[in-house]
Structure 1
């Protein structure tokens, strides 16, 4: 590891952690970065989960301290996603490296399209909907969201935001608090699979986790503020550039 790499990784982690909490898509930065630094795609995928675990631990603690939560509904969603994430992680851990890079590239373009064409999630909110049927559809939906989370995770924040605002009409701040809680729960299961398969580079994981943790904390502090359009603009350009590089190189 070159001397500048730890600093670069920490800075990228701070940016990614912040993005993951206030909107989503941070792993679309860190996952390709780890691959570009020389980690095999599957190892990069597992390594990135340690940073996500640390980031969401800090974010959940901050949201709970500020009294922002939707307990016990968030736990129900988290447990549903957890069961799906085990399946997703098992599917991806032995996947062909070139196929994984192609899938990641396609997902990144898809998320870029979602960012470009979809209106802000906050504008979708029309009041909370917590009837039994809404909660039931939420639990069912999050099982499948968990499969994707265990498989790749990258860009899942946007999917969760859309699901929670469409199904339950939560405000952006409550949506973000639920999002990090759900991600924390299912990431524990995904990490267990990657550890079992010895698919984590702990050297890179701990460095990245330092940055993601700080970014996650900052994201939880600023998540209630508006004006994240500039962040999404930067993310959009970065996603397209990295997706092109992943596809062709």
Structure 2
């Protein structure tokens, strides 16, 4: 990759990490950009997932200082997600390149459509109430499925975790966003370790991206407490759908 492509990638990674710290969706941005810059799709997904560690670390540092993370909301989901992530990440290298293009493009479109209904989903949350075995059981099922998806493709997985925390535990959107980071970090770490063992990560790209993502994650977590993000969706959703269509059909 030449210096211009490298600069484009790091700038995109930094901006995507701010968005990821605010509302997820960073993995809907990074792998497609890496692919368009000439990175093979397996390497793009694995390296992008490795770089996501930076967003989670940066965001957790901010949210933990604000006391918004509670173990009863994230622990069960995170443990189940780690199991699912190991299974999913172990399969990535076995999936043909064309199938990955189809999967990535399809999920980019589906997650973008879900984002259009974000406000309606927020209003569906039940009363917070007691932490029951039923709610934890739902977390286990959701964690296994989402963990596997994040391990294989990952784009939009963090956003779906936010919605599921709202629906399962009845937390507010900001509480769900904070606790989602504590779920995403171990899931991402497990997937990254599998990709490291498989030799899929390009460290010349992944390490600089991870470092800028730490800063972006801190900024995103700070901004989400002060701003609302409808304007982000106006930009992101059409662009993400267009990129998804290109990956599928071109």
Task: Compute the TM-score of the two structures, normalised by the length of structure 2.
Answer: 0.93
CA distance in 2, matches of 1:84, 1:203: 28
Partner of 1:232: 233
CA distance in 2, matches of 1:182, 1:146: 10
Number of equivalences: 249
Pick closer, same or farther for the CA change 1:124–1:218 going to 2, 3 Å: farther
Partner of 2:108: 108
State the Cα distance separating 1:126 from its structure 2 match. 4.4
Partner of 2:76: 76
User: Does the CA contact (< 8 Å) of 1:125 and 1:165 recur in 2?
Assistant: yes
State the Cα distance separating 1:163 from its structure 2 match. 0.8
Partner of 2:17: 17
Paired residue secondary structure (1:136): helix
**Aligned pairs (5 A) from 1:12-91:** 12-91=12-91
Pick closer, same or farther for the CA change 1:120–1:218 going to 2, 3 Å: farther
CA distance in 2, matches of 1:61, 1:209: 15
Pick closer, same or farther for the CA change 1:10–1:127 going to 2, 3 Å: farther
Partner of 2:134: 133
Q: For residues 92-132 of structure 1, give each alpha carbon's deviation from its aligned partner in whole angstroms, at most 9, with x where no partner exists.
A: 22211111001111111111221224535443344324223
CA distance in 2, matches of 1:117, 1:72: 27
Pick closer, same or farther for the CA change 1:52–1:163 going to 2, 3 Å: same
User: Does the CA contact (< 8 Å) of 1:45 and 1:152 recur in 2?
Assistant: yes
Task: Compute the TM-score of the two structures, normalised by the length of structure 1.
Answer: 0.94
Partner of 1:194: 195
CA distance in 2, matches of 1:57, 1:124: 30
State the Cα distance separating 1:139 from its structure 2 match. 2.3
Structure 1, unaligned runs of 5 or more: none
Q: Which moved more, 1:131-140 or 1:36-45?
A: 131-140
CA distance in 1, matches of 2:122, 2:65: 23
User: Does the CA contact (< 8 Å) of 1:173 and 1:224 recur in 2?
Assistant: yes
User: Does the CA contact (< 8 Å) of 1:51 and 1:213 recur in 2?
Assistant: no
CA distance in 1, matches of 2:212, 2:57: 13
User: Does the CA contact (< 8 Å) of 2:73 and 2:165 recur in 1?
Assistant: no
CA distance in 2, matches of 1:36, 1:120: 34
CA distance in 2, matches of 1:187, 1:157: 10
Partner of 2:168: 167
